């Protein structure tokens, strides 16, 4: 069932007892968990927080921790799974699900009280009606027993009457069975349509922020964490532009409300002129248009232009002509090459101030429309400013730093800590690592396109990251593999001269564990689609059912699958057959 009132229906219920919180390994979930912890700290609620990556981990943790727990909160995990079926909980345990994965499983939606979903169903979710999916089993049994009773009626009356009755009853039974079959077929079709496409709903972090706001516990930090969740969805293409703009407007209202104390303070100061107008300990968020260049404030302009997905795809910077075009752009902007190779914060002050206008001017030519987008910047006194996308990249990089021998749970906690303001060093380390990852990704794509590794296989493209490729260990993390896949698809479409293959999706695969010879496969929808809906979840499931390949669809995002490397070619063949 859906919970409308977050405070009464969720928070008041949950804060009375011990809670078990299960969090998925993605940036949105981590931000949401951080906000939730912040709220819980005010009321001294005892909780246990465990990060989970896959459904098997979810089951394991549930079994270990379920003693004594009555309320379980699932953040970004379990929404699209039938929880009661998988975990088999007792009757009195209540699950609260805040998941941005859609479609929400139909059993979760219509569960009477054990599973409560903390989101209002949106119009475009098209949840099938209750009657279309579940039938009242008792009423049909009653009717059958009625017909039996009628049969047992001590029929010493006219046999004809009985025979007539029997014929009518048989006809009724026949009609009922036909109705039943029709209903079942309709049900199958509805379910198929409903679960065919998997996509993302509203960001969990911003929902948690709403809860904080309703409880009057919001602050600039909490709003910033919510903003990071929303930005993550935008950067990874999980949400449409219109929805993002709507969220930006709402956030703008919140900023106006929370940060207005700073604004008033400034006005008063300008009147009295006793205190300098820039109060250095102020933490405020500014909303405005910003460039779609990754990490440009912490990098050199040239690197940022070259390695950001948007610019490198539009300008085809992996080719030789592209390089020339890059230098041409820098020249047109009036930015000397030496300046553009310096770190942004060491650039000449005038150039830095004019940089934004220069980029906007350039964006009209050179096929660079949509270079700017509405975004948010965090100011803290005179220190470096951070854009919300910077935080997202840093967190993604920290989250998958397990090649240095750290366990994934440690990375999870490092990422969570990097959100606190007292741990800025973690954030900066994450930014450095993100730069390295983006650079590698660009080089990988360049190599892949040169060696034509993005192969057309009928109804889709596919890209395989070979085992042992330089610096490719971090593609075992699904999020990074998805980034690589979308970069590869866009690059492929941009570099293919013919226009016919622009509507195809892409599947990417990388080695997950070289000891066990497993690999992961992700599928992303074609770029020409305006709505980011992927049908690969269903497709993977169907292929797994039809063939007997051991595929585990363990991750909470259904378009990610895991299998043995030797089964991969068979899987691709089956998938090709299914989709053509």
Partner 1 sequence: MYCDKVIELLKELERSREDTIPPYNNDGINHVLSEMKTLDAEIIDLLRTQKDNLPLDAIRLRRAAIERNKRCLLTYIWTRIQRLKEMRWEIGAILPSDVRQNLSQSEIEWFNNYCKTLVSYMKTIGPDTGLNLTQDTKPPKSLYTEVRSLVDAGKLELESGEVLILRKNSQYMLSRSQAEPLIRQGVLEQVRQ
Which range of residues in 49-57, 311-319, 371-379, 527-535 is near partner 1 by CB under 8 A? 49-57
Minimum CB separation of residue 423 from partner 1 in Å reads 7
The strand order across the sheet containing 518-524 reads 455-457, 460-464, 506-513, 518-524, 560-564
Which range of residues in 63-71, 200-208, 227-235, 253-261 is near partner 1 by CB under 8 A? 63-71
Token readout for 292 is 């779609």
Binding mask 15-34 for partner 1 (x = CB under 8 A): ---x----------------
352 scored as a contact of partner 1 (CB under 8 A): no
Minimum CB separation of residue 49 from partner 1 in Å reads 4
How many amino acids of this chain bind partner 1 (CB under 8 A)? 25
50 scored as a contact of partner 1 (CB under 8 A): yes
409 scored as a contact of partner 1 (CB under 8 A): yes
Residue 158 and residue 154: Cα distance in Å, rounded? 11
- In the complex with partner 1, which residue's Cβ is closer, 60 or 503? 60
Residue 50 and residue 555: Cα distance in Å, rounded? 16
Minimum CB separation of residue 511 from partner 1 in Å reads 25
413 scored as a contact of partner 1 (CB under 8 A): yes
Residue 190 and residue 207: Cα distance in Å, rounded? 29
- In the complex with partner 1, which residue's Cβ is closer, 57 or 210? 57
| DSSP line for 122-160 | PGGG-PPPHHHH---HHHHHHHHHHHHHHHHS---S-HH
Token readout for 511 is 């080695």
Position among 214, 423, 424, 568 found at the interface with partner 1 (CB under 8 A): 423
- Nearest to 215, CA basis, from 35, 69, 71: 35
Phi, psi (rounded to 5 degrees) for 125: -80, -25
Position among 41, 181, 257, 546 found at the interface with partner 1 (CB under 8 A): 41
- Nearest to 129, CA basis, from 197, 183, 199, 196: 183
Position among 113, 272, 407, 516 found at the interface with partner 1 (CB under 8 A): 407
Which range of residues in 43-51, 314-322, 457-465, 540-548 is near partner 1 by CB under 8 A? 43-51
- In the complex with partner 1, which residue's Cβ is closer, 16 or 241? 16
384 scored as a contact of partner 1 (CB under 8 A): no
Which range of residues in 124-132, 155-163, 205-213, 420-428 is near partner 1 by CB under 8 A? 420-428
65 scored as a contact of partner 1 (CB under 8 A): yes
Minimum CB separation of residue 45 from partner 1 in Å reads 7
| DSSP line for 31-50 | HHHHHHHHHHHHHT--EEEE
Minimum CB separation of residue 254 from partner 1 in Å reads 22
- In the complex with partner 1, which residue's Cβ is closer, 39 or 507? 39
Minimum CB separation of residue 485 from partner 1 in Å reads 30
37 scored as a contact of partner 1 (CB under 8 A): yes
Which range of residues in 236-244, 293-301, 416-424, 471-479 is near partner 1 by CB under 8 A? 416-424
Torsion 496-499-501-502 (CA) sign: positive
Minimum CB separation of residue 447 from partner 1 in Å reads 37
Which range of residues in 62-70, 149-157, 300-308, 349-357 is near partner 1 by CB under 8 A? 62-70
424 scored as a contact of partner 1 (CB under 8 A): no
Query: What is the largest distance, in Å, between two alpha-carbon atoms of the chain?
Result: 109
51 scored as a contact of partner 1 (CB under 8 A): yes
Minimum CB separation of residue 52 from partner 1 in Å reads 11
210 scored as a contact of partner 1 (CB under 8 A): no
Query: If phi over 0 gives left and psi between -120 and 50 gives alpha, with beta otherwise, what is residue 547?
Result: beta
Torsion 449-455-456-459 (CA) sign: negative
Looking up tokens 């397990």 gives 402
Residue 420 and residue 309: Cα distance in Å, rounded? 28
Which range of residues in 86-94, 171-179, 333-341, 419-427 is near partner 1 by CB under 8 A? 419-427
158 scored as a contact of partner 1 (CB under 8 A): no
410 scored as a contact of partner 1 (CB under 8 A): yes
Position among 31, 49, 206, 539 found at the interface with partner 1 (CB under 8 A): 49
Contacts of 489 (CB under 8 A, 6+ apart): 454, 461, 505, 506, 524, 526, 527
Cα dihedral angle (255, 260, 265, 267), rounded to 10 degrees? Answer: 100
45 scored as a contact of partner 1 (CB under 8 A): yes
Element of type H or E holding 476? none
Residue 398 and residue 25: Cα distance in Å, rounded? 11
Token readout for 381 is 């006194």
44 scored as a contact of partner 1 (CB under 8 A): yes
Residue 280 and residue 276: Cα distance in Å, rounded? 9
Minimum CB separation of residue 176 from partner 1 in Å reads 52
Position among 156, 280, 422, 516 found at the interface with partner 1 (CB under 8 A): 422
420 scored as a contact of partner 1 (CB under 8 A): yes
- In the complex with partner 1, which residue's Cβ is closer, 66 or 214? 66
Residue 442 and residue 450: Cα distance in Å, rounded? 12
Residue 356 and residue 289: Cα distance in Å, rounded? 9
- In the complex with partner 1, which residue's Cβ is closer, 323 or 417? 417
Looking up tokens 């009132």 gives 5
47 scored as a contact of partner 1 (CB under 8 A): yes
Residues 522 and 512: beta-carbon distance below 8 Å: no
Binding residues for partner 1 (CB under 8 A): 18, 37, 40-41, 44-51, 64-65, 67-68, 407, 409-410, 412-413, 417, 420, 422-423
């Amino acid at each position: 069932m859906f919970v409308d009132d977050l405070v009464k229906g969720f928070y008041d219920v949950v804060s009375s007892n011990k809670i078990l919180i299960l969090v998925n390994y993605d940036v949105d979930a981590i931000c949401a968990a951080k906000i939730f912890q912040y709220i819980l700290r005010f009321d001294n609620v005892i909780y246990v927080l465990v990060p989970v990556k896959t459904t098997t981990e979810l089951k394991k943790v549930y079994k270990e921790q379920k003693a004594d727990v009555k309320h379980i909160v699932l953040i970004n995990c379990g929404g699209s799974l039938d929880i009661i079926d998988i975990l088999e909980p007792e009757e009195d345990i209540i699950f609260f699900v805040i998941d941005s994965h859609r479609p929400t499983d139909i059993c979760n939606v219509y569960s009477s009280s054990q599973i409560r979903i903390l989101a209002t169903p949106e119009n475009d979710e098209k949840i099938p009606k209750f009657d279309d999916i579940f039938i009242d089993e008792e009423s049909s049994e009653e009717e059958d027993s009625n017909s039996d009773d009628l049969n047992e009626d001590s029929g010493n009356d006219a046999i004809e009457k009985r025979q007539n009755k029997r014929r009518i009853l048989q006809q009724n039974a026949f009609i009922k069975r036909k109705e039943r079959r029709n209903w079942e077929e309709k049900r199958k079709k509805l379910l198929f349509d409903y679960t065919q496409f998997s996509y993302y709903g509203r960001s969990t972090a911003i929902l948690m922020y709403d809860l904080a706001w309703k409880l009057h516990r919001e602050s600039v930090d909490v709003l910033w964490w919510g903003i990071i969740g929303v930005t993550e969805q935008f950067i990874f293409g999980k949400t449409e532009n219109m929805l993002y703009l709507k969220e930006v407007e709402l956030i703008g209202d919140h900023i106006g409300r929370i940060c207005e104390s700073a604004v008033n303070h400034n006005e008063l100061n300008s009147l009295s002129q006793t205190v300098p107008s820039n109060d250095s300990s102020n933490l405020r968020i500014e909303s405005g248009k910003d460039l779609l260049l990754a990490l440009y404030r912490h990098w050199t302009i040239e690197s940022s232009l070259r390695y950001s997905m948007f610019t490198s795809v539009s300008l085809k910077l992996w080719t030789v002509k592209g390089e020339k075009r890059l230098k041409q752009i820098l020249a047109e902007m009036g930015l000397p090459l030496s300046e553009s190779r310096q770190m942004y914060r060491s650039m000449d002050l005038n150039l830095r101030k004019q940089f934004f206008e220069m980029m906007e001017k350039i964006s009209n030519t050179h096929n660079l429309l949509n270079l700017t987008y509405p975004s948010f910047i965090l100011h803290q006194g005179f220190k470096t400013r951070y854009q919300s996308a910077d935080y997202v990249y840093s967190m993604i990089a920290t989250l998958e730093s397990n090649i240095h021998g750290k366990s994934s749970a440690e990375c999870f906690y490092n990422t969570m800590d990097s959100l606190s303001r007292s741990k800025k060093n973690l954030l900066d380390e994450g930014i450095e690592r993100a730069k390295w990852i983006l650079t590698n990704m660009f080089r990988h794509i360049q190599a892949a396109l040169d060696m034509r590794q993005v192969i057309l296989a009928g109804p889709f493209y596919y890209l395989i990251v070979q085992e042992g490729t330089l610096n490719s260990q971090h593609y075992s993390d699904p999020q990074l593999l998805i980034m690589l896949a979308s970069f590869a698809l866009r690059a492929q479409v941009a570099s293919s001269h013919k226009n016919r293959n622009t509507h195809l999706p892409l599947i990417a695969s990388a080695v997950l564990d070289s000891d066990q010879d497993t690999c992961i496969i992700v599928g992303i929808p074609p770029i020409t689609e305006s709505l980011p809906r992927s049908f690969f979840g269903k497709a993977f499931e169907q292929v797994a059912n039809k063939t007997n390949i051991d595929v585990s669809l363990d991750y909470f995002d259904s378009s990610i699958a895991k299998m043995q490397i030797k089964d991969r070619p068979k899987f691709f063949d089956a998938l090709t057959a299914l989709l053509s």
